[in-house]
Amino acid sequence: MRIMKKKIWIINCLLATFLLNSCDKYLDIVPDNVATLDYAFKDRIRAEQYLFTCYSYMPRHGLPQSPSMFDDYTWSNSGVEWLPQLGFQLLRDGNRVTSPILNYWNGENGATNLWQAIRDCNIFLNKIDEVRDLDEYEKKRWAAEVNFLKAYYHFFLMQMYGPIPVVDENLPIDANPSDVAVYREPIDKVVDYIVQTIDKTIDDLPLKIDLEVSELGRITKPIALSMKAKVLLTAASPLFNGNKDYSTFVDNKGTQLFNQTAEEGKWQKAAQACKAAIDICHEAGIKLYEFNNQSLNISETTRKVLTAGRVVTDKWNQERIWGIGHYGNSRILEEYTLPALHGDHASFVRSVTVPTLKAVEEFYTKNGVPIEEDVNYDYEGRYELVTTGIDHDLLLQQNVQTINLHLNREYRFYGSLAVDAGLWFGLGRLNEKQQWPVNCRFGQQSGRVGIERYSISSYYIKKLANIESVFNVKTYIEKRWDFPILRLADLYLMYAEALNESLQTPNQEVYKYVNAIRERAGIPSVEEAWATHSKFPDKYLSKVGMRDIIRRERNIELMFEGHRLWDARRWKIAVQEFGEPVQGWNIEEKEPADFYMVRTINNLRYNLKDVFWPIKQSELSINRNLIQNIGW
């Protein structure tokens, strides 16, 4: 998303008004400085600045401290003072009620204040009709954008906190205290409000952005319908649909905030919404990405490998539904994830956000099935040493020692990860025969040499580095890109999941949308892969089996893109998955036999209470109608 980089004068002008004590206390009080607000909507220029203010609260998708950028597939050994790894602190040490980490309720500890964002959206919607030099089309479009943002901010809060208040209108400054002491609404009511708010935006949003230089990232019909689909998919998922873990979650009026009976019809609604979103995306020209740079003389192998990463880092590409490109996110991601591939690189790279061994084992074999299921894959011998050969040319270095785990894997494995004895295309080397070697054992260029700037697991994230960025002597010249919030592969997999859950057994439509992604990845169809290569050849024929396949496909296709945290939580597997030990290799050793010994990096404790964020304790003291999430 393109956000104005210059400071918006209106923030300073209205700050004292917006941050009244009453606003902090209750969520929905409108400021009473009407003269100031009237000036803010005096003309088109000032109104547009206020529009960008409404966008400016967007969660920092893609930044290392974003709540979506930590999960069991990545880990961090440190950070930097100006950009701490807050998410990993949550997994390692847990949250706290006195001063919650990534507190989007109050806008503290690495987060924006989404209730203030919603207030500003309501102010905009109340005043936009007063702008004198704004034509009717733009008024409707801008109002639709802000209504969508208001719905999205409610959804983001719902994902984090569960049941939340619904703030559709700001109350006047002289509102009765009983009116402003808001209650958390039941999940189903929150979802209905979000969906209804999105629905009323559709007619006034453009199909696609025409002024790409100035408007990429602003809300369109495909964005709105795709987010509606995601909201309904989330609402149909076990965390929010019949969750008996929260049977005692009742407010002081006796209102049950989590429904206690799972409704299968919610999956049908989600599937219908996903299909409608897919159709509008296709109409807008959005399609699955294929890397096809004709100026590079590369093989089909390299093209498939690069597609896995370029689908993310090729700026505003054809698969992107919604992206966010502000705050220098991509440079920070590259700084945090790149290895040192040469002695001159160490001054830039930090190598602090890295894949876990669990992530490495999640990818399929070259046959398109899990490594633990492939009848032709030596799963028990996956950690045994092996010398690479010509059969892995362009994927791994030749005639060097590594382990079986790194051989015979799908293209997305080599495009998403950098492994010991691996290769790295880009960063100044665009000849597939002269790629950077990646050597991760102790004392080697990409291994541990000092007290910082190394991978704590020995693996690196390749997917989040733009091949067009360049190391030039001791300077890093980055080619910035937008971070994907929604892309078409995500939507295809949402549709497959919702449709599968709505049926007794999967049909061809379910397979079709999963297979479209697998074909792009260069692996066999679901039917062929499981029937031919899996220990469980009938797995894809059942609803439960196909559920497992779709979830695995999401984990692989969207890995390192900020989806795993939300998916694991909504599937109600986060307590189990995030509680497993974080593992990697013995990075203190240089000899292969000693290096390739599984080492536990951290033992995590993730409990039921950690699934939802705590509301800051002081908020509960101010508004006694709010109740705290379970366990806090």
Angle at 525 between CA 524 and CA 526, to 5 degrees: 120
Alpha helices, DSSP H only, in 541-589? 543-557, 564-570, 574-577
CB atoms within 10 A of CB 39: 14
pLDDT, position 602: 92
3-state DSSP of 272-330: HHHHHHHHHHHHCCCCCCCCCCCCCCCCHHHHHHHHHHHHHHCCCCCCEEEEECCCCHH
Q: Cα-flanking dihedrals φ and ψ of residue 67, to 5°?
A: -60, -20
How many helical (H) and strand (E) elements, i.e. helices and strands, does the chain have? 24, 14
| Tokens 């896995």 -> residue | 308
End-to-end, the C-alpha distance of the chain in Å comes to: 35
3-state DSSP of 204-259: HCCCCCCCHHHHCCCCCHHHHHHHHHHHHHHHHCCCCCCCHHHCCCECCCCCECCC
pLDDT, position 78: 63
pLDDT, position 66: 82
Instruction: In whole angstroms, give the CA distance from residue 204 to residue 407.
Output: 51
pLDDT, position 76: 84
C-beta separation of 46 from 39 below 8 A: yes
pLDDT, position 266: 99
pLDDT, position 5: 35
* Tokens standing for residue 109: 């500890």
SS3 88: helix
Look at the chain and count its residues.
632
Q: What is the mean pLDDT of each run of 10 residues along the chain (632 residues)?
A: 36 31 38 68 94 94 82 79 74 92 95 97 97 96 99 99 97 82 97 99 97 91 99 99 97 97 98 99 98 94 98 97 82 91 81 95 99 98 98 97 99 98 96 97 94 93 96 82 97 99 99 99 99 99 99 98 97 96 97 98 93 97 96 96
C-beta separation of 616 from 106 below 8 A: yes
Radius of gyration for the alpha carbons in the chain, expressed in angstroms and rounded: 25
Instruction: In whole angstroms, give the CA distance from residue 552 to residue 558.
Output: 10
pLDDT in tens, 281-302: 999 999 999 999 989 999 999 9
| Tokens 């067009």 -> residue | 468
CB atoms within 10 A of CB 499: 24
